[in-house]
Amino acid sequence: MAAVLTGRRVAILAADGVEQVELVEPRRALEERGARTELVSLREGTIQAMNGDIEPADRFTVDRRVSEAGADDFDALVVPGGTVSPDHLRRDGDAMRFVRGFADGGKPIAAICHGPWALLEAGVAEGRTVTSYPSLRTDLRNAGAVVVDEEVVTDRGVTTSRDPGDLLAFCERIVAEIEHA
């Protein structure tokens, strides 16, 4: 694979309860293409990933607290899903400031499954066409987003996908979006 993302820095914003495959697969795809990823979270230490929101999976070391990070430190943002992680993130002012910083700077943002909750809370979903896990779609519509049921959607720099079944298309799209940003 060509290292088309060499020199690019990508923040992966996640908290306890992140769906493991939605963190691991995009990170792998980005790093295989040469990007440097950092796990950004609400606190130092590690976060607990989950399989299917129910079964504890691995723990992942946090590289930086979101309160000490800014969008200017990165070229792009990925927000994995799982129900719990995005719910924690959307209640944190520093995390919402971080997400808004990417949108305000016109930098690529990608969110999968329940990750669009963070986009919604940060005011990034309004007016954009997005997709998500089915249970978020009413919330997204109520926030002013146009919601579609497609495996991957990109609208003005924001890429969204529905669930782990869409990871291949999601990963390919975010690599392309970051490469051409």
Quick: pLDDT tens for 137-181. Answer: 999 999 999 999 999 999 999 999 999 999 999 999 999 999 999
Measured CA to CA, the distance from residue 49 to residue 79 in angstroms comes to: 13
The set of residues, in sequence order, having a beta carbon less than 8 Å from that of 91 and lying 6+ positions away, is none
| Cβ pair 86, 33 in contact under 8 A | no
- Residue spans per domain, the chain: 9-179
pTM for the model stands at 0.98
Q: What does the mean pLDDT of the chain come to?
A: 97
Measured CA to CA, the distance from residue 111 to residue 120 in angstroms comes to: 11
Measured CA to CA, the distance from residue 78 to residue 27 in angstroms comes to: 9
Measured CA to CA, the distance from residue 138 to residue 48 in angstroms comes to: 28
Kindly tell me if the per-residue pLDDT of 55 is higher than 80. yes
Measured CA to CA, the distance from residue 110 to residue 154 in angstroms comes to: 9
Quick: pLDDT tens for 21-50. Answer: 999 999 999 999 999 999 999 999 999 999
The set of residues, in sequence order, having a beta carbon less than 8 Å from that of 161 and lying 6+ positions away, is 110, 111, 112, 113, 131, 151, 152, 153, 167, 169, 170, 173
| SS3 of residue 66 by DSSP | helix
Kindly tell me if the per-residue pLDDT of 71 is higher than 90. yes
The pLDDT score that the predictor gives to residue 1 is 76
Active-site residue numbers? 114
**Architecture, CATH, for domain 9-179:** 3-Layer(aba) Sandwich (3.40)
